[in-house]
Structure 1
Amino acid sequence: MTSVTTPLSSTEVRTSVPLSGYTTLRLGGPAARFLQATSAADVVDAVRAADQSGEPLLVLGGGSNLVIADEGFDGLAVRVATQGRSFDRLADGRVELTIEAGEDWDRTVAFAAEQGLGGLECLSGIPGQVGATPVQNVGAYGVEIADVLTSVDLLDRRNGRVHQVQAEDLGLTYRSSVLKGTDSAVVLRARFALQDGGQSAPIRYAELARLLGVELGARVPVADARRAVLELRRGKGMVLDAEDHDTWSAGSFFTNPIVDDGELPDVLAKVAARVGADATVPQYPGGAGKTKMSAAWLIERAGFGKGYPAAEGRVSLSGKHTLALTNRGEASTADLLALAGEVRDGVLAAFGVRLQAEPVLVGCRL
């Protein structure tokens, strides 16, 4: 790799940098140009410069929700590596925690727990960086970012300006926001309102409540909730471990499908025909006139069990969690997408439900 200097805050730009080293899947070809931005000003300068020149731009965080083509990215990849956090006291025993976009997400959750701040603990162990969490409205174990986010600072690429946007204006819905699927803005920092006093948010997830030995709605010490969540995630291969190929994934590859209630009887009839009339089908409220179903349950009943292999074993479903598609060490992005397509089409054929991919696809499609 060669290095050249640019006017971008005197930041070093490298060429032909493999992006596989910047994704949790360990997949992806090279970026034509690459820079690591260590301050919000560097991020702003780099994005503005790329926009002014017309150069294709890819903004990288932790790479935990990203699938990059084997051919790589023919443009400038900017990795956000900004650091910093601060506190502000709010009313009613709440604390607003401001975190720069480049901070590691799980270290942020650990820091909040160490400070006795409740609200983030159920999001422990999720890989990636702070800046990506509002885009995806990250959620787990009954909690999502929408529950605690107060605002973000955004660089608006349409006019090059930085401004603060309130959480209610981000259109935060299940695993989505107005920022998802668009490159019109870049998150520079985020603010979260957390509860002081050492207690967790109310426990809303039955599996977590059972492990903690409490009723739904109970509060427990923040540190206890974090430990329990990490235990559950490790058991599903959802805590990054360089030695465990079950964690070489983008997390849950498919979102839980939301089905119109008018279509639900047909889906359940197909389930009964395939699985049996007495099957207990996991169902959850999906909004007005809609029902959310379990993608993992549908995948398994469509014939794709844990560890299901493809591409001569180069990729497989995780041996611990059906929703994770994993790189077994020598895979290509094409291998991974072929497996994803097989699973998606299998569920569609079996139940008439089309699964949607959760990760961002760069230079490739499913």
Structure 2
Amino acid sequence: MQELLDAPLAPLTTFRLGGPATRLVTATTDDEVIAAVREADAADVPLLIISGGSNLVIGDKGFDGTALRIATTGFELGSATQRAEGRTHLELAAGENWSDAVARTVEAGLAGVECLAGIPGSAGATPIQNVGAYGQEVASTVTEVIAYDRRVGETVTIPGADCGFSYRHSRFKADPTRFVVLRVRFVLEDAGGLSSPVKYAELARTLGVTPGDRVPAAAARDAVLRLRAGKGMVLDPEDHDTWSAGSFFTNPILNAAEHEAFLARVADRLGADVTPPAYPAGDGLTKTSAAWLIDKAGFTKGYGTGPARISTKHTLALTNRGTATTEDLLALAREVRDGVHEAFGVTLVNEPVTVGVSL
């Protein structure tokens, strides 16, 4: 376990923003993670968990407490017997690079997470956010989460059904100070090297197939990586469009009354012949597109004149052009959020976790 005082946190985030932590501890085993958490809790010191840093917005003043960087490793596939039955279990340590882990599952001929390729961050963060993209989300494959429960001071195993998964949400996100994820267990499908049925229309078009078809898992992964790269959603140190947290806002989910009012605002602003994106979200709810809202409210690709701007490749990504501060980023985020609300009456909600700041 390594320890640094007055340690810069910006290099540990994909935004490359934020001030220093009073203390930074890097843990490489589960025992070290637990020991660091217990030490901070016993001393009543604020604790910030960092792993891949792809979903964090840290204030310019930094973090007055202990930042714990989880750098554990571990990739373990199930037995040959499981594969013969068409289902294989996978256990990942929280610190495993998620995109690399997806690549290894595809190389092993397994399906279930191939459309989550290229998503930056760590395996331990995936159940917290219920990470999803291109028709897949980890809620469909997570069987168990092993976590340290700070409330009871013990390591617990939480079944996937008890994780409270919903759109970009989970019980871990709802109660962010209680659990520290140590390991995540998944069940993947052995379909002879084929992908899961392709669900996402854009991906199906890219692959030249009909939604519901299967393709080689490697082909699905490669297509997703191309799509993500075209939107600046694959990390590249030389490309400032990727100095972001990916999608900064979640897609709004509206009840019937909210959706009706939204459609009226769209018709009034853009014309009665304009139909905004709409996807069933269960229980009479409708999900619409945050990217569409942002664009139609006047915040187009590349919007901004300062060091924080909207990506030139995708309107959902707010980016650091190299010299931005967190306050620069938040000023842009507030401008976009308020502009969308003024135009359409819909309030966008930030997806990244904020530390020491808020919108």
Matched, 1:292 2:282: no
Q: Secondary structure at the match of 1:189?
A: strand
Offset at residue 150 of structure 1 (A) = 0.6
Offset at residue 21 of structure 1 (A) = 0.4
- Residue 240 (structure 2) aligns with: 245
- Residue 338 (structure 2) aligns with: 345
Q: Secondary structure at the match of 1:180?
A: helix
After TM superposition, the structure 1 = structure 2 runs for residues 273-352 of structure 1, keeping only pairs within 5 Å, are 273-309=268-304, 312-352=305-345
After TM superposition, the structure 1 = structure 2 runs for residues 218-229 of structure 1, keeping only pairs within 5 Å, are 218-229=213-224
Deviates more, 1:176-185 or 1:201-210: 176-185
What is the aligned counterpart of 1:259 among 231, 248, 254?
A: 254
Offset at residue 43 of structure 1 (A) = 0.2
Matched, 1:51 2:51: no
Q: Aligned partners of 2:14, 2:2: CA distance in 1, in Å?
A: 24
Offset at residue 195 of structure 1 (A) = 1.0
- Residue 52 (structure 2) aligns with: 62
After TM superposition, the structure 1 = structure 2 runs for residues 30-179 of structure 1, keeping only pairs within 5 Å, are 30-89=20-79, 90=82, 92-179=85-172
Percent of residue pairs bearing the same amino acid type: 58
Q: Aligned partners of 1:177, 1:35: CA distance in 2, in Å?
A: 26
Deviations 1:175-209 (Å, cap 9, x if unpaired)? 00010042100000001111122111110001100
Q: Secondary structure at the match of 2:202?
A: helix
Q: Aligned partners of 2:258, 2:189: CA distance in 1, in Å?
A: 41
Q: Aligned partners of 2:247, 2:2: CA distance in 1, in Å?
A: 34
| Contact persistence 2:146–2:155 (CA under 8 A) | yes
- Residue 184 (structure 1) aligns with: 178
| Contact persistence 2:2–2:27 (CA under 8 A) | no
- Residue 6 (structure 1) aligns with: none
TM-score by length of 2: 0.97
Q: Aligned partners of 2:161, 2:330: CA distance in 1, in Å?
A: 34
Matched, 1:201 2:196: yes
| Contact persistence 2:337–2:348 (CA under 8 A) | yes
Offset at residue 92 of structure 1 (A) = 3.2
Q: Secondary structure at the match of 1:251?
A: coil
- Residue 5 (structure 1) aligns with: none
Offset at residue 265 of structure 1 (A) = 1.5
Q: Secondary structure at the match of 2:234?
A: coil
Offset at residue 51 of structure 1 (A) = 0.5
How many residue pairs match? The answer is: 354
Letter in 2 for 1:320: K
TM-score by length of 1: 0.95
Q: Secondary structure at the match of 1:252?
A: coil
Deviations 1:240-278 (Å, cap 9, x if unpaired)? 000000000011000000111122111111101111111
CA RMSD of aligned residues (A): 0.9
Q: Aligned partners of 2:214, 2:181: CA distance in 1, in Å?
A: 31
Q: Aligned partners of 2:202, 2:231: CA distance in 1, in Å?
A: 13
Q: Secondary structure at the match of 2:156?
A: strand
Offset at residue 280 of structure 1 (A) = 2.2
Deviations 1:110-136 (Å, cap 9, x if unpaired)? 000111111111000000000000000
Offset at residue 356 of structure 1 (A) = 0.4
| Contact persistence 2:34–2:148 (CA under 8 A) | yes
Offset at residue 218 of structure 1 (A) = 0.6
Letter in 2 for 1:82: T
Q: Aligned partners of 1:201, 1:37: CA distance in 2, in Å?
A: 35
Q: Aligned partners of 1:351, 1:362: CA distance in 2, in Å?
A: 29
Letter in 1 for 2:217: V
Q: Aligned partners of 2:115, 2:73: CA distance in 1, in Å?
A: 23
